[in-house]
Chain A
Amino acid sequence: MKFAVIVFPGSNCDRDMYHAAKDALGQEAELVWYQDATTLENYDAILLPGGFSYGDYLRCGAIASTSAMVKELRVQAEKGTPILGVCNGFQILLEAGLLPGALLRNKNLKFMCHHEGLIVKNNRTLFTTDYEQEEEISIPIAHGEGNYFCDPQTLEQLKANNQIVFTYSNNPNGSIEDIAGIINEQGNVLGMMPHPERATEDILGSADGLKLFTSMLKNWRESYVAGA
C-alpha cells in the first residue's frame, strides 16, 4: 500500500506521519510537497499531517484549503481514496468543506499537549475496523484550536449517519458532544484532532494509534487487491 503524506509550508508532523506509515506499518510512503504533484492518482491513501500550515494565518487551515493540492484532494475524495487528516490536516479538511463544521479556540484558551482517552464510536469505518466498538484508547493531542463546532442540524446529521468516529473520555477543549474525530458520509475522509501517528509504538507511550493504520491497510487489501 502506498501512502502520500502532503507537506504544506508550516506542516510539522509530516515526518511523524511518514514514520507511522513507513516504519510502524511497514508500507510505502512518500512526502509530497504541496506544489509538486498535480495528481495523487498513484497513491492508495492520502495523509494530511498536523502543524501550522501558513502560520495559521486568517484561520487554521484556511490558506492551505485554497491550494491546487486541495483541489486534487477533492477529486480523490470523490473517487473514494482514503484520506486521513490529523490536527491541522483536520482543520484543512473542514476549511475545504470536505468535512462539515469548524474548529474554534480551545475553551480554556490554552495550547494543550498530552495524552487523552478516546472512545471509538464507530468501528465500521475503513480506519477503525481493528478497534472494538466503544474501545477506550490513549492518543496524544497537541492543539490550541481543537474545539469542534457545528450547527444543530449538522450535528443531527453526523449522529444519524454514524459520522462521529472518536469522542473524548474527558473533553479537554470544549468540543460539542465531546467530538474528537468525524468521517464524511461516503466513509473515506476522516478528520481528527488527536495524533494517532504519535502513538504507534510502545516506546512513544502508547501504540493505540497503530490500529488506525492497520485498519486502513487491511481494508485496502480487501477492497483493492483481489486474491491478496
Chain B
Amino acid sequence: MRFKRSVDTGQPRAPHWLKGLAYGGLVFLHFPILMIVIYAFNTEESAFSFPIKGWTLRWFAEAAARQDVLDAVWLSLKVAACATVLAMILGTMAAAALYRRVFFGKDAITMMLIIPIALPGIITGIALLAAFKMLGLEPNFWTIVIGHATFCVVMVYNNVVARFRRIPHSLVEASMDLGADGFMTFRRVVLPQIATALLAGGILAFALSFDELIVTTFTAGHEKTLPIWLLNQLTRPRDAPVTNVVAMLIMLITTVPILLAYYLTKGTESVAGSSK
C-alpha cells in the first residue's frame, strides 16, 4: 500500500480511516465536556433531553446565590493559592540545589521529588492521613495544603530545573564577581532568568491543586473543596444544572491557566543563553 504525499511537506499522508479514528477519538474525549457546558444553559431542571429545549442563565444566578457553592469555591481557591506558593518556594529551592551539584544521594532525592506524580493519589492520600494521625494532627485546611503541595512541588521543580540547566553558570559567577552576595544574585540575575518557568510551574500547580479530589478526600476531614462538593452532588440529581455550572467554572479555572503556562514556556529559547 502506498501513501499519498502531502503537497506542502512531502511527508506521506495518513489514510482516511486513520484520520477518522484520530478525530473520532478526540470527539469522544471532548464531547462529554461539551455536554456539560451546554446543559449549564439548559432551561429544564433535571431531564437531559437532547436537543435542549431552551437557553437560560438562571442556573448561574442560582449557583452564585448558594452559600455551599461559594464556600467550596473560596476554600479551593485558598488551598490552591497556598499550595502553589509553597510549591514555588520549595520547588525552586530544590531545583537550585539539584541542577548542578553532584553529591551522594542526589538521584534518590530527585526520585523522591518526582514520585508523587507517578504514585496513585489514593496511596499518597492514605499515607498522608496515617502520618497526620500519627502526629496527632486533625485534618484541616493546612493538611489539605500539605497534601496538594506534595505533587505541586514537582510541577514547579520540573519547569524550573529545566530552565536552570539552560542558564550559563557564568552569569551567577559574574554577579558574585561584581560584588553581589547569594541573595542579591538570586534576586537580580537568577530570578529574572527563571521567572517565566517559575510562573508556568506555579500555574500548572494551581490548576492541579484546584481540581484535585483523591488526595483531598483523605486529608480534608469535613472541609469541602470544590471537587469534593461536586462529588457529593452526584447523589442529588435535582441539583444537576447547578452542578453543571460549577463544573464549567472548574474547567475555566483550570484550562485557562494551563494554556497560559503553555504560552509562557513556549518561546523561551530567546530568554536564556542569549548572552553568547
State whether these chains interact.
no
Residues of B in contact with A (beta carbons under 8 Å apart): none
Residues of A in contact with B (beta carbons under 8 Å apart): none
